Amino acid sequence: MELKSIYKNWFKNSTWSIILIISFLTGITLILLFVLKIINYSWLTGWALGLTSFLVGIFISKKSVELLLKNENHFLFYFFFLLRIGAYATPLFIAFFNNNIIFDYKGVLIGLSPILLLPFTNHKVLNIKNY
């Protein structure tokens, strides 16, 4: 069996694998930088805040697609879209307005970095099939 087929089968079975791998790699990188005393504790707390808000946004996205397919209420879908944008923006506002004491905005941006992969993995995360 070639490496390409193993790689395809591994990602086909797990829907969260790409997002978890990126989050794990950024977490390991930040912990390594913290151990080497290059960054401080506020970066790690910012990363945890950003990652938490990213996972909340994914949950909101899954719920909105599920309710759209069940109810066909597009206004509810728009509401969930605005709610998801608020879930992504709230940690950034928290990090910018507390003067980097607890949460650093750079750590929050690193925690929100898996959002950049959503256009490529959205069909796997949402389990959307051909309708």
- pLDDT value, residue 87: 93
Token pair of 8, please?
């395809």
**Residue 131 placed within a domain:** no
The confidence score (pLDDT) of residue 101 equals 82
pLDDT along the chain (131 residues), means of 10: 56 64 85 89 90 89 87 90 93 85 88 81 65 48
Number of structural domains the chain divides into: 1
Q: Has residue 125 been placed in a domain?
A: no
Residue 5 lies in domain: 1-116
CB 128 within 8 A of CB 26: no
- 57 lies in some domain: yes
What is the phi/psi pair of residue 104, to 5°? -90, 135
